[in-house]
Amino acid sequence: MSRKPAFAVAALSLSLLAQGVLAAEEQFFPIPSYRVGPYGANGQSFYGGFIDYLNYVNLKEKGVNGVQLTWEECETEYNNAKGVECYERLKGKAAKSSGPIHTMSTGISYALIDKTAQDKLPLAMMGYGRTDAVDGSVFPYAFPLVTTYQMQASAVVRFVKDKLGGNLAGKKIVYLYHDSAYGKEAIVAMEAEAALNKFALVQIPVAHPGNEQGAQWLRIRQEKPDFVVFWGWGVMNQTALKAAQKVGYPRDKMVGSWWTGSEEDVIPAGDAARGYMAATWNVAGKQVPVIADIEKVVYGAGKGNLQDRSKIGSVLYNRGVSAAVLSVEALRRGQEKFGKGRALTGEQTRWALENLDISEARLKQIGATDLLPEIRTSCANHEGSGKVKIQQWDGAKWGPVSGWIEGNKALIHPLFQASAKQYAKEKGITPRDCSKEK
Amino acid sequence: MNFFFEVLIGGLLSGVMYALVALGFVMIYKASGVFNFAQGAMVYLAALAVVGCMEMGAPLWLAVILAFAIMTLFGIATEKFVLRKLVNQPPIALFMATIGLAFFIEGLAPLLFGSQPRALDLGIVDEPIAWVLDNWNMVISKFDLVAAAVASLLVATLALFFQYTRVGRALRAVADDHQAALSIGIPLQHIWAIVWGVAGFVALVAGMMWGARNGVQFALTFTALKALPVLILGGFTSVPGAIVGGLIIGASEKLAEIYIPPVLQDLFGGSFGGIEGWFPYVLALLFLLVRPEGLFGEKHIDRV
């Protein structure tokens, strides 16, 4: 055998091996997304931002330490049954390597919480989902990251308190909420805050879908509250703003949850939305360096995910980027422990999400200041932050009107622990000992 | 007492908005005996067509005309591709076809005009009338009054159309019996195309009023939910019945939302409310037990 063919065979083998290695070093993201159906407009912006950032990391840095990011979307239409179907379809691919799964749906998250734990795949629920999963000793694979409905409500009350001169005693706050699990989640926090701060709390539910709120707003007019804390969803948001205008209630005395604070929530209400405020954990706009750079790098390369580029910089687009930033930072954290340049399994990503430490300095370094608050997670705290900002709609754009506000952790977190304990009892789960987790 | 009347009037005006949607159902049912499951989706398509045309640069009046043309074309296409094959089939087959149609429109409309929620400005401010507020301390919206006027005009026009025009009489004949209507020379295909076109026009009016009020978005399809109890009360075949049913449902649900929860809280403790989602259906159910054909519906008697 001459040397030439032997060399060729060796080169070919090496090349195939290299390809094999490269194929193995791909980090897969299962993405059960929604871009059509009732809430398709929200999903388009969020998942557009999410995928654009993954592409950005691939284009700019050639992946995370050389590990290319790959993904597959499956359309859920914000439907729980379809969400589960998508998960079942994608989990096979995720068995080898998996980034955090973002469903952007509390209902789908609830449906997947047991399944993901069984399949050892990490479920991220940024600002939504099952909130007692903050207690990671009971929910090792579920992560209600950044903020929960309860901590958010507490932060909103803190903001209102500041607005009303630092004292809520004797004041009246109306809690106007979507009459669903989502709307009811924050009641316990509002009641705890009312007891602590001695303000009168008036709870007014709105039946789904909330496209008619005449009676509720006439009642609000009668109650003459100092502020309205608003937990709306979908069409309920615009209807509330229009109804507030109709009864003459000032919009700058309304603060909503983050589900009520995107362009999609206020533009249909027209002028009625001017002055309205809502919680958020990411600012809107292209002034955030990484957002501007995504437009340049990703859309410049013709690889942008959005058909409608005007959505770049919107609240929900930036939130999608925010979720992707957090996910990619988790991969970096995981690779520090499990080996740089290696794709992470679901179990390893879970560890990474539980050991996140994203500082302001790091956010600045990657150009993501104000896309996320600082986050430090642990086994006992899967939320990692609990901070939000309040933003205000000026008729054309959202702008922040507060710094980071943290909910009252001492008041709220024990509520999660009690609820998680109850869940563990019902399901026969033995909680992990968080002091032994590293 | 002032508050009671404020809630009552607000409820009556909301009821007019429900009636606007219910009218579209009545149109189709009256002419074909079919409950059109796609009416809510048609409201969505019509409103999206208006804002879609406006985004392409058309002024409001032109956008409305173009949207009407789209809805008419849609009506003709529905007759040609969906209904023509189902002549003389049981009503359930036609009903099932409208379910399919609803899903088709819900997919097609955002594909054509985009799914982004948008505002529709008709130039009518949804603010209280200052004079009423100052003198009576009551909130009566200018927008709701305009909606009431539009609905009244629409009802009067449709009632006259059905009662006194040849086409109107032909529509009623078709509704009674497809085959009999065909046998006396009524062109069923034309009649169905006309009725779906008129239902499209009603959907356009409803879509514009609801769209101006809450924004043009997918949730417009949910307006159909509010129309169902209205139809049960008013009768599926009566145009004035849709208005009366709307007024009853609107007023009763608002009064119920305000006055029932405190009673329940006193009786059972806890927090109640949000009952206007189910209250109209309970009312309609009770009404069904007493008068199944609705207030103004045609009494159906089978002789054996």
pLDDT tens across B147-191, in order? 899 988 998 888 888 888 888 888 878 877 778 888 888 888 888
B281 is a domain residue: no
What pLDDT score was predicted for residue A7? 56
Could you read off the pLDDT of A65-119 as tens digits, one per residue? 999 999 999 999 999 999 999 999 999 999 999 999 999 999 999 999 999 999 9
Q: State chain B's mean pLDDT as an integer.
A: 89
Q: Is B28 within 8 Å of B101 (Cβ atoms)?
A: no
Closest CA in chain A for residue B276:
A207
On the question of pLDDT at A6 being above 70, the answer is no
B176 Cα distance to chain centroid: 22
- CA–CA separation, B72 and B69 (whole Å): 5
Residues of A in contact with B118 (CB under 8 A): 267-268
Q: Which of B56, B25, B27 is nearest to B40 (CA)?
A: B25
The β-bridge partners of A123 are: A101, A142
- Kindly list the structural domains of chain A, giving each domain's residue range(s) and its CATH number in brackets, ordered by start: 25-147+287-376 (3.40.50.2300), 150-280+391-407 (3.40.50.2300)
- Give me the domain span that covers residue B146: 2-229
Interface list for A 243-302 with B (CB within 8 A): 245-248, 264, 267-270, 272
Q: Is A83 within 8 Å of A112 (Cβ atoms)?
A: yes
B46 is a domain residue: yes
B119 is a domain residue: yes
B217 is a domain residue: yes
On the question of pLDDT at A20 being above 50, the answer is no
B240 is a domain residue: no
Closest CA in chain A for residue B222:
A209
Which residues of chain B, if any, have pLDDT below 70? 300, 302, 304
SS3 B189: helix
- CA–CA separation, A36 and A78 (whole Å): 9
The Cα of A348 is separated from the nearest Cα of chain B by a number of Å equal to 38
The Cα of A434 is separated from the nearest Cα of chain B by a number of Å equal to 36
Q: What angle do CA A350, A351, A352 make, to 5 degrees?
A: 90
What share of chain A has pLDDT > 70, as a percent? 94
Residues of A in contact with B3 (CB under 8 A): 218, 222
Number of separate domains in chain B: 1
- Number of A/B CB contacts below 8 angstroms equals 121
B238 is a domain residue: no
B257 is a domain residue: no
Could you read off the pLDDT of A174-222 as tens digits, one per residue? 999 999 888 999 999 999 999 999 999 999 999 888 988 989 999 999 9
ipTM rounded to 2 decimals: 0.87
Task: Give start and end residues of each alpha helix (H) in chain B.
Answer: 2-32, 39-55, 60-78, 91-113, 130-136, 142-164, 166-176, 178-183, 188-214, 223-234, 239-268, 279-290
Residues of B in contact with A238 (CB under 8 A): 117, 214-215, 217
Residues of B in contact with A39 (CB under 8 A): 218
What pLDDT score was predicted for residue A364? 97
The Cα of A203 is separated from the nearest Cα of chain B by a number of Å equal to 8
